[in-house]
């Protein structure tokens, strides 16, 4: 069994290497721009091996996108923080996570392939975008339950918050190959949160 296990681990390493190389190339050059041969070379693997692990370029692409789809950590917030500060921190975290995952580039390639891979796009949208709304909406609902926020449609509220922030920071990045977190985003976030609390705070 030792041999078999060894083999499996080698194989798994290659699998991971291909995935990683694929991610790099797809993010850098887009779907059509990334060449299977380059990905294989980067992963230090033959093209034939690449195709043993993923039966087509598209399948690798899908795997790359799905793989990026990790859970997002929502950090615990200090009890004594103000509501405003907490919300700013949450939204800031949202933005940081986005840039840390290089999500802009990822979304870019998924968007590019909407006509060619609609299912992937829908899935990605759900897992990457909708589920993040949901997490924030859950928080909002809790705050409403606690009486800290006025009752309102939490999904609507979240889209108000997130929409403004995306409009400021993510939408421009989508067109600008930016990969770094914008500076001073917190100021704008705070302004957005302040308006939100004027509307829905108690």
Contact set with a copy of itself (CB under 8 A): 28-33, 108-116, 118, 121-122, 124-125, 129, 156, 159-160, 162-168, 171-172, 174-177, 188, 191-192, 195, 198-199
**And the tokens for 40?**
């294989």
Q: Does 36 bind DNA (CB under 7 A)?
A: yes
Mark out the alpha helices in the chain (DSSP H runs). 2-33, 36-42, 47-53, 57-67, 83-100, 103-112, 118-124, 131-145, 154-165, 171-174, 185-200
Q: Which of residues 132-161 bind DNA (CB under 7 A)?
A: none
Closest among 171, 197, 24 to 111, alpha carbons compared? 171
Residue 8: contacted member of DNA, a copy of itself, none (CB under 5 to 8 Å, by partner type): DNA
Q: Name residue 149's beta-bridge partners.
A: 201
Q: Which of residues 47-86 bind DNA (CB under 7 A)?
A: 47-53, 55-58
Q: Write out the residues near DNA by the rule CB under 7 A.
A: 2-3, 6-8, 10-11, 14, 32, 34-37, 44-53, 55-58
């Amino acid at each position: 069994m030792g041999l078999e296990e060894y083999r499996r681990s080698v194989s798994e390493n290659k699998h991971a290497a291909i995935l990683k190389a694929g991610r790099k190339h797809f993010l850098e050059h887009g779907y059509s721009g990334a060449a299977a041969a380059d990905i294989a070379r980067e992963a230090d693997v033959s093209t034939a091996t690449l195709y043993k692990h993923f039966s087509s370029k598209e399948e690798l692409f899908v795997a790359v996108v799905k793989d990026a789809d990790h859970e997002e950590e929502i950090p615990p917030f200090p009890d004594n923080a103000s509501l405003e500060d907490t919300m700013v921190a949450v939204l800031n975290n949202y933005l940081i996570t986005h840039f840390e995952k290089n999500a802009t580039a990822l979304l870019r390639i998924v968007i590019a392939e909407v006509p060619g891979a609609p299912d992937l796009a829908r899935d990605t949208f759900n897992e990457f975008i909708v589920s993040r709304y949901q997490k924030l909406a859950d928080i909002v609902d809790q705050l409403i339950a606690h009486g800290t926020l006025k009752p309102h449609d939490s999904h609507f509220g979240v889209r108000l918050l997130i929409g403004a922030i995306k409009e400021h920071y993510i939408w421009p990045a989508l067109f600008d190959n930016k990969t770094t977190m914008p500076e001073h985003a917190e100021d704008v976030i705070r302004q957005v949160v302040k308006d939100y609390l004027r509307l829905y705070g108690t």
